[in-house]
Amino acid sequence: MARTSKFIGGTVLGYAYQGAVMLFGLWMTPFCLRMLGQHEYGLWLVGLQVLTFLLLADFGIVAITPRDVARLTGDGQEHGKSAELVQLVHKTSRIVRYQTLLVTAGAIVIFLYLPHKDVRGPITVALVAYCLSYPFRIYGAVLQGLQDLQYLGRVRIVLWAISAAITVSFLIFGWRLYALAFGWGFNVFAQEAAAFVRLRRLQPELARWGSSRHTGSLHWKDFTHGMWLSVGQLAQLLLNGSDVLSIARVLGASAVVGYNCTLKLATVFSNQPLLLAATAVPGLSQMKSNEPRERVFQVSTSLGQAMLIFSGALFAVVFAVNRSFVSVWVGPQLFGGMSLTALVLLNLLLRHLDLTLAQSLFAFGYEKPMAIKAVADGLVSAGAAFALVHWFGITGAATGVLLGVLLVSLPTNAVLFSREFGVPLARVFAPYVPYSWRVVLACWAGYALDGYFHPKNYFAIFSTALATLAIYGALIVPYTLRTPLGAYAWSIVDRARDNLRVWKIRWSA
Write the pLDDT tens digit of every residue in 288-302: 656 667 777 777 777
pLDDT score of 93: 80
432 vs 165, residue with greater confidence: 165
pLDDT, mean of residues 212-226: 56
Range name among 4-13, 58-67, 359-368 with the lowest pLDDT average: 4-13
| Sign of torsion over alpha carbons 231, 384, 414, 307 | positive
Helices (H), 252-292: 253-269, 274-290
User: Quick one: what percent of the chain has pLDDT higher than 70?
Assistant: 70
pLDDT score of 256: 73
Q: Report the mean per-residue pLDDT for the chain.
A: 77
pLDDT score of 142: 84
* Residues contacting 231, CB < 8 A, separation 6+: 371, 372, 374, 375
Specify which of 58-67, 209-218, 345-354 reaches the highest per-range mean pLDDT: 345-354
How far apart CA 282 and CA 53 sit, in angstroms, is 26
CB 239 within 8 A of CB 377: yes
Domains in the chain: boundaries: 2-223, 228-500
309 vs 270, residue with greater confidence: 309
Statement: residue 398 has pLDDT above 80: yes
How far apart CA 228 and CA 46 sit, in angstroms, is 28
- Band (39; pLDDT cuts 50, 70, 90): low
- Interval 412-447: pLDDT, tens: 988 988 888 888 888 888 888 888 888 889 999 999
- Band (233; pLDDT cuts 50, 70, 90): low
Q: Note if the pTM is more than 0.75.
A: no
- The amino acid occupying position 42 is G
- Band (466; pLDDT cuts 50, 70, 90): very high
Q: From its phi and psi, is residue 76 left (phi > 0), alpha (psi between -120 and 50) or beta?
A: left
- Interval 325-342: pLDDT, tens: 888 877 788 788 899 999
